[in-house]
Amino acid sequence: MTAEPTVREAIVHKSSGKTRLYIFGAAAILLIVGALFSESLCPYDPYLQNLDAALQQPSAAHIFGTDRFGRDMLSRVIAGSRASIFSTFLLVAIITAVGTAVGVFCGWARGRADDLLMRGSDLCLAFPGLVFALAVAGVLGGGLHNAVLALAAISWPKYARIARSQTLAVRETAYLKAAMLAGCSTTQLIVKHILPNIAGPILVTAMLDIGTMMMELAGLSFLGLGAKPPTAEWGSMMSETRGLLQTVPWAVFAPGVAIFVAVMAFNLLGDAVRDWMDPKMRN
């Protein structure tokens, strides 16, 4: 009597998980496509200054109003999506690739190299992430590319830890030992057997990290260690207009709302991907 409702609930839960994945996936794709074609979608030139139209309130002509230089805020938010979103993707790709490579190497080779690299990751994890990134970005001299490098320098250990633990687990499985006995080379073992079996947790972690990395990149830009004016980037735009928060709040809220929507969309997509890849959800 109790088994039937349980099966029914599992089917409904699985169906809702797929629905959420499609909905949030579509929202993320819309954001990416919008960022890719941002230049064509801008109603005005995002860098064109018109002091006669400075600090105008939101209206039909300027939906998000204008900033102190008369630039249309909607156009700048749309143009800023390219730098904000694609810089985040680049950052997540770097830390995923570097962390996975280090983790697989440590889990496979072990020994002194494993101890040395893992102690290095412990050193990175011992400091508060954003504080460490501020220090690295300050040394590098600021700029969006240096902000990406600064965050990459302190964000890879999490992926290395995951990849190492997964590699150690896979290394002890019967099918991998059978592949060794079959004469597979180390490269074949890693590429064909280890990486496909550890990709799931790493992919989920990367998806969930997109929103976090976007916030941290925007934070560095807000503090003057990321994108430099007049580059349209959401964190930098908020920094430029923070002094106008009480008098011209729309100039600050426009990029802030963009960050909120993008982070929310990618976080919800990450949650949906995690649930979809859960083995319990796929039975």
pTM to 2 decimal places: 0.87
Residue range 68-90: mean pLDDT, rounded: 93
Amino acid at 60: A
The model's pLDDT over 168-225, given as tens digits with 9 standing for 90+, comes to 998 888 888 888 888 888 888 888 889 998 998 999 999 999 999 999 999 999 988 8
CATH superfamily of 18-45+65-282: MetI-like (1.10.3720.10)
Q: Taking a C-beta distance cutoff of 8 angstroms, is the pair 85, 31 a contact?
A: yes
Which of 196, 208, 205, 192 is CA-nearest to residue 263?
Answer: 208
The model's pLDDT over 95-129, given as tens digits with 9 standing for 90+, comes to 999 999 999 999 998 888 888 888 888 888 877 77
Residue 1 has pLDDT above 60, yes or no: no
Helix (H, G, I), strand (E, B) or coil at 248: coil
CA-CA-CA-CA dihedral for 255, 258, 263, 266, to nearest 10: -150
Gap between the Cα atoms of 42 and 24, Å rounded:
24
Q: Residue for token digits 């349980």?
A: 6
Residue range 256-271: mean pLDDT, rounded: 92
Amino acid at 206: A
Residue 2: pLDDT band (50, 70, 90) is very low
Domain extents in the chain: 18-45+65-282
The model's pLDDT over 132-167, given as tens digits with 9 standing for 90+, comes to 888 888 888 878 899 999 999 889 999 999 999 999
Structure tokens at 96: 């995923």
Which of 181, 183, 214, 208 is CA-nearest to residue 269?
Answer: 208
The pLDDT of residue 7 is: 52
The pLDDT of residue 182 is: 85
Gap between the Cα atoms of 271 and 199, Å rounded:
16
Gap between the Cα atoms of 194 and 9, Å rounded:
34
Backbone angles phi, psi at 154, to 5 degrees: -115, 0
